[in-house]
Amino acid sequence: MKTAKPAATGRSVAPTPAAPAAYAHDHRAHHDVHEPSHAHGPSQEAALALAEEYCRERGEKLTPIRRKVLELLLNSGRATKAYSLLDEMRQIHAGSAPPTVYRALDFLLSVGLVHRIESINAFTVCHDLTQCQHGILVVCQQCGSVTELHQPKLRQALVAQIEEAGYRLASDEIELKGLCAACQAAKAASTAALVAAAK
């Protein structure tokens, strides 16, 4: 993935000068696990304002369409497929066409505001927006929720092993598939209900 931000090197990335004080205070790069951005990050409006400033500083523009796609991803709170975003866009702008959404997603990917989740062919907002350190993404295969694990030493060791085996990562993202706690609980409850019904 082409990105305007530094690749993960294990070094922490300081908040950008454009980041609002509240966001800089809430930034949790020192923690091992980051929940999805809608859970602990800045408010949606603050996140969008931060994204606009980030783009402006780099000579890019967060056009109304790009902003709306980012807003839809923020609202979703989980990995979302492009055609779902297109359906939502069509409810707002009836004439929205697939290239419109794909071009917006390509832009958001190129500047590092979103991640592409290859395993389920979906997109999710980067937890830290302009502070992305390309951690390890854990993707729930049931509901599409995504959690970013920021453990630079673990990532470096994994990348070193991959390169030692003669491979090179195709993108900055490293994905692990799993089942989130909520889906595990739902599955357990469903199994328990089936067992009870069988008695």
What is the CA 193 to chain-centroid distance, rounded? 34
pLDDT tens digits, 91-123 = 988 888 999 999 999 999 988 899 898 888 999
Angle at 106 between CA 134 and CA 26, to 5 degrees: 40
pLDDT in the model for residue 150: 81
Domain count within the chain: 1
Tens digits of per-residue pLDDT, 146-196?
888 888 898 889 999 999 999 998 877 889 999 999 999 999 999 999 988
Whether 13 maps to a domain, the answer reads no
Confidence band of 134 (pLDDT split at 50, 70, 90) = low
Domain span including residue 180: 21-198
Residue 4 DSSP one-character state? S
Give CA–CA dist 189/199, Å, rounded. 16
- According to the annotation, is 126 in a ligand binding site? no
For residue 91, the number of C-alpha atoms closer than 13 Å in the C-beta half-sphere is 8
- 8 A C-beta contact, residue 109 and residue 138: no
Listed in sequence order, the residues at least 6 apart from 172 whose beta carbon sits closer than 8 Å to its beta carbon are: 1, 3, 7, 8, 134
Q: Quote the tokens at residue 12.
A: 């922490």
Query: Has residue 7 been placed in a domain?
Result: no
The CA-atom distances, in angstroms, between 136 and each of 14, 45, 82, 112 are 19, 26, 22, 15
Comparing 135 with 36, the larger pLDDT belongs to 135
Please tell me whether 150 is known to bind a ligand: no
Residue 10 has pLDDT above 60, yes or no: no
Determine whether 73 is exposed, middle or buried from the number of CB atoms within 10 Å of its CB (0-12, 13-18, 19+). buried
Residue 115 marked as a ligand binder: no
48-97 pLDDT, tens per residue? 999 999 999 989 999 999 999 999 999 988 899 999 999 999 998 888 89
Q: Tell me whether residue 134 is annotated as binding.
A: yes
Write down the residue that tokens 């091992």 correspond to: 32
**The model scores a pTM over 0.85:** no
Q: For residue 69, give the CATH number of its domain.
A: 1.10.10.10
180 annotated ligand binder: yes
Question: Does residue 106 lie within any of the structural domains?
Answer: yes
